[in-house]
A and B are shown apart, each in its own frame.
Chain A
């Protein structure tokens, strides 16, 4: 297996006037090419912080993030953040514009992705004419446009209603698998994590650290929705639910 990302003893401290907050602490794990990893944790534990550090949006306080040479990371945010003043195609091209890779060839690749994933008729439409699920797919294609090897997904479906989020989890899974990407998904949704991933890491409460790791042994040929119906699914669900130790 080709190890492409190594996270070692990662930690983050925030400073405020009143206190110093340790958000995450001693997080270590390896990512292999083609992996689909989920990170589940109680709300507010620092899941999004972890992705923001991995993507380079915010600096880390301790530890190391080593990416294998020639591999790149892209970050798909929780919010689709489609720009209302750009068309669907222009939205998908913004990453290429910013990274100065806006070539004809890359533009063709984006148009191909849009066509493949059912957005062909909306290329020149504005985001306000899209449904929630379509917006999420556009956001994913915008992230894929810069041809990253590793995708960081932050609560990829949380902004959608339950049924749409089930359907879009299938879509996202298929897109990521057929484009041959490695993915790291951060979510509060236990079911989503089990149904999408090969491996699930469970984080503790703040300061977040890895508490448990589960290899999901449900048939890989099944789609995320089909996996939810597998008997093993409820076994993992129960385990992770108990690990999270949620009380309100």
Chain B
């Protein structure tokens, strides 16, 4: 540090102050929001039955924590997320890979996937209960239908967007289709696949959360409070 001129030290100091200021403002905004929410609820300006209030939430949290039901519900929700996330991701990866492998299969499936993807899947809720009963299976299936079509399309896009010259290079060494997939297509698509996985997590959550999943089908989650 001693190597720096005073001017540079000042520059670093100003940078640090700016960073601290930003964090302070961010905290102040949250606090202001909570305080305002609490005041509006207590003064009955907003209906606290609909909008709740910070203290009510804290009290409910404490009582749920004390009777032990909080963790039971969190656990179930997490298991649901994990199962639906992994099944969506592996299934869509597999289907996208098959579509890459057999272009004719992709051409046949393409319109159906587009139609399925544009269906308002939440509206299928009642049907899904009839098919799978009001339980765990329905929730997973709901999460799957919401996330899988987007996931298939995104992964397939990632595969076919691989630079043609990489594929040609592999061909020049007489690579088989399997080698091309394992050595070129898959590693070249990893960053896009990761983005798709991130989207899958949030899509699966949409499938699980009320009013889509747990609230309707399975009276066992944090959201019913």
A residues at B contact (CB < 8 Å): 55-57, 74-77, 79, 81, 83, 85-86, 94-95, 97-99, 146
In the complex, the chain A residue whose C-beta lies closest to that of B190 is A85
Is B172 touching A77 in the complex (CB atoms < 8 A)?
yes
From A74, A83, A85, A97, give the contact of B172 (CB < 8 A): A74
B residues with CB within 8 A of A: 163, 165-166, 168-175, 179, 183-184, 187-188, 190
Interchain Cβ contacts under 8 Å between A and B, 6 examples: A55-B172, A57-B168, A79-B165, A94-B169, A94-B170, A98-B174
Contact of A57 among B165, B166, B172, B187 (CB under 8 A): B172
6 additional A-B pairs beyond A83-B184, A94-B183, beta carbons within 8 Å, are A57-B171, A79-B165, A81-B165, A81-B166, A97-B183, A98-B175
Return chain A residues, CB-CB under 8 Å to B188.
83, 85
Measured in the bound complex, the distance between the Cα atoms of B170 and A56 in whole Å is 12
Q: How many A-B residue pairs have CB under 8 A?
A: 43
> Within the complex, which residue of A55, A77, A95 is in contact with B165, where a contact is CB–CB below 8 Å?
A77
Instruction: Given A79-B165, A83-B166, answer yes or no on A94-B187 (Cβ-Cβ < 8 Å).
Output: no
Known: A77-B169, A81-B169, A83-B184. A99 touches B190 (CB 8 A): no
| Chain B residue contacts of A57, Cβ below 8 A | 168, 171-172
Q: Are A98 and B173 in contact (CB under 8 A)?
A: yes
CB–CB A146/B169 < 8 A = no
From B168, B170, B179, B183, name the one whose CB has the most chain A CB atoms within 10 angstroms: B168
Give every chain B residue within 8 A of A99 (Cβ-Cβ): 173-174
B161 to chain A minimum Cβ distance, whole angstroms, is: 14
Chain A residues with Cβ below 8 Å from B183 are 94, 97-98
Task: Write out the residue numbers on chain B whose beta carbons fall within 8 Å of the beta carbon of A94.
Answer: 169-170, 173, 183
Q: Is chain B's interface secondary structure helix, strand, loop, or mixed overall?
A: helix
Cα distance, A67 to B168, chains bound together (Å): 22
A81 touches B163 (CB 8 A): yes
Name A81's contact: one of B168, B174, B175, B190 (CB within 8 Å). Answer: B168
For B176, give the chain A residue with the smallest CB separation: A98
**C-alpha gap A81/B165 in the complex (Å):** 6
Interchain CA distance A239-B179 in the complex, whole Å: 46
Closest to A83 in B: B166
Chain A contacts for B187, CB-based, 8 A: 83, 85-86
How distant is A82 from chain B, measured CB to nearest CB, in Å? 9
In the complex, the chain B residue whose C-beta lies closest to that of A79 is B165
> A residues within 8 A CB of B163?
81
For the complex, give the distance between the alpha carbons of A95 and B184 in Å. Answer: 12
> Interface centre among B173, B175, B179, B188, by most A CB within 10 Å?
B173
Q: In the bound complex, do residue B165 and residue A98 qualify as a contact, i.e. CB atoms below 8 Å apart? A: no
CA distance A79 to B187 in the complex (A): 19
Minimum Cβ distance to chain A for residue B3 (Å): 28
Chain B residues whose C-beta falls within 8 Å of the C-beta of A98 in the assembled complex: 170, 173-175, 179, 183
Q: Measured between C-beta atoms, what is the minimum distance from A17 to chain B in Å?
A: 16
- Separation of A83 and B175 alpha carbons in the complex (Å): 15
List the A side residues contacting B190 at CB < 8 Å.
85
In the complex with contacts A83-B187, A85-B190, A98-B179, A77-B173 CB distance below 8 A: no
